Amino acid sequence: MISIKVIDRVGETHILEAPTDMNMNLMELCKAYELPVAGTCGGMALCSTCHVYVESENSLSDMSDDEIAMLDSTFFVQNNSRLGCQLHLNNDMDGLQVRLAPESGN
């Protein structure tokens, strides 16, 4: 199990305990904890409702072309933007801190 800190859109901090052996991604984990992450496209990098800002120094997987393309057309993008559904939970993510991006309406 790893521990991930998620700051929601009202500034509240949630500590999520996450299994690394269930092939889950960060979007699915947030949904499991009933955080306001819609995950509308089901994790296909097609909706950006799982957009987060990474606020810790964990080493994360490189972005796929699909993730880059989706973030290109998303509002409120910052240098530390990622799509939660593209972050598959692994031991390198222990202690990760992310903040939910504002909802962009797409």
Residue ranges binding ligand FES (CB under 6 A): 27, 39-41, 43, 45-50, 70, 83, 85
Strands (E), the chain: 2-7, 13-18, 51-54, 81-83, 97-100
CB 4 to ligand FES: min, Å: 16
Closest distance to ligand FES from the beta carbon of 42 (Å): 6
Nearest approach, Cβ of 64 to ligand FES (angstroms)? Answer: 11
Specify burial of residue 4 (Cβ count, 10 A radius: 0-12, 13-18, 19+): buried
Q: Return the number of the residue (2 or 83) whose C-beta is nearest ligand FES.
A: 83
Of 2 and 37, the one with the shorter C-beta distance to ligand FES is 37
Residue type, 73: S
Say if residues 6 and 82 touch (Cβ distance below 8 Å): no
